């Protein structure tokens, strides 16, 4: 059918699987490097906005938590605010994040849009994800590797971290835009 003889099926499948593993790891490293470059660009460009939205197609904020938190001291020092909005999550760090309006906008995101209601009706077999309230942490600990050092150390940073999951991002993006956040494209 695919031009692979019966004797070669196992070898071919093994080659596909190993290639998948190899290139999945390469893609993950490149995604992390891209996030590092975005943050370095934001920090090094004096004319870059202080409040930015990064749109993401990731399914959860793990990539950003792992790769942006080490920059928390520099973000705090330069008063930069980053909010990452994904398909079903929000995560951010910043000194100038007004928590009460953000929480209200986040709660509005918990209301399903008409499109997501239709999708939920169409996919009744899978149970819906439970959406959690917005988590806010004031003052965080971040692993930071200082110049000339190899071992990271934990540093307390006076910055606000927000994280949550939602059903409909539109109210949140509208609030962030009204609050002075701009989409960051580098």
pTM, two decimals, is: 0.73
- What are the residue boundaries of the structural domains of the chain, listed by start? 6-183
The residue with tokens 């819906």 is 128
Nearest to 132 by CA among 186, 83, 89, 94: 89
**118-to-14, 90, 131, 167, 171 alpha-carbon distances in Å:** 40, 23, 18, 13, 19
**Angle at 85 (CA atoms; ends 125, 183), nearest 5 degrees:** 145
Which DSSP category does 34 fall into?
A: H
Is the per-residue pLDDT at 118 higher than 50?
no
Task: Of 34-43, 106-115, 160-169, give the lowest mean pLDDT range.
Answer: 106-115
Taking the C-alpha atoms of residue 71 and residue 78, their distance in angstroms, rounded to an integer, is: 11
- Tell me the three state secondary structure of residue 98: coil
Task: Of 43-47, 55-59, 105-109, 113-117, give the lowest mean pLDDT range.
Answer: 113-117
Other CB atoms closer than 10 Å to residue 160's CB: what's the count?
A: 21
Helix (H) or strand (E) holding 25: helix 9-44
């Amino acid at each position: 059918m695919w031009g692979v003889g019966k004797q070669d099926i196992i070898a071919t499948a093994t080659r596909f699987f190993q290639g998948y593993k190899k290139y999945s790891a390469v893609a993950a490293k490149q995604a992390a490097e891209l996030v590092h470059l975005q943050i370095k660009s934001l920090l090094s460009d004096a004319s870059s906005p202080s409040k930015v939205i990064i749109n993401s197609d990731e399914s959860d904020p793990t990539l950003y938590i792992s790769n942006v938190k080490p920059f928390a001291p520099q973000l705090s020092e330069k008063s930069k605010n980053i909010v990452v909005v994904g398909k079903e999550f929000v995560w951010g760090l910043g000194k100038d994040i007004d928590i009460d309006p953000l929480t209200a906008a986040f709660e509005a995101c918990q209301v399903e849009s008409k499109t997501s209601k239709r999708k939920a009706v169409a996919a009744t077999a899978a149970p819906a994800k439970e959406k959690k309230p917005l988590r806010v942490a004031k003052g965080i600990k971040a692993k930071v590797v200082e110049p000339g050092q190899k071992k990271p150390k934990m540093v307390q940073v006076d910055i606000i971290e927000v994280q949550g999951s939602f059903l409909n991002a539109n109210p949140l993006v509208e609030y962030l835009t009204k609050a002075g956040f701009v989409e960051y494209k580098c």
